[in-house]
Amino acid sequence: MNITITDKAVQWFESEMLLDKGDAVRFFGKVYGKTEVHEGFSVGMNAEQPHSDVIGKTEINGVTYFAGTEDDWFFSGYDLEVDYDEERDEPIYHFHEN
């Protein structure tokens, strides 16, 4: 799984979550909501370090963005693109088949 994050999304994460070099953001599947490819589930995120193996990660400005193996059920078969929604002032998530 590849994770890509747009520049605007990186700016949002760094300013809203007060991220510094060495920090990490975990993306995971959570109950409720919907995505482009999931009904009843949406993307959650939390500032935390990897506690197990990862299925995808990228590092930008010293911050690691990742998804753990425990969320393979949610991301399996997809790459994750994280962008920024200016109207809602929050990240928006796109799934691309891999």
78 contacts 96 by C-beta, under 8 angstroms: yes
Closest CA relative to residue 3, chosen from 73, 51, 58, 43: 58
Angle at 43 between CA 52 and CA 58, to 5 degrees: 50
The predicted structure's pLDDT at residue 59: 97
Cα distance between residue 55 and residue 72, in whole Å: 7
Determine phi and psi for 89, rounding to 5 degrees: 55, 55
The CATH architecture of the domain made up of 3-97 is Sandwich (2.60)
Domain residue spans of the chain: 3-97
pLDDT tens readout for residues 13-66: 999 999 999 999 999 987 676 666 666 667 889 999 988 799 999 999 999 999
Tokens of 29: 């599947």
Residue 9 — very low, low, confident or very high, per pLDDT cuts 50/70/90?
very high
Is 8 a residue whose pLDDT tops 70?
yes
pLDDT tens readout for residues 81-95: 999 999 999 999 999
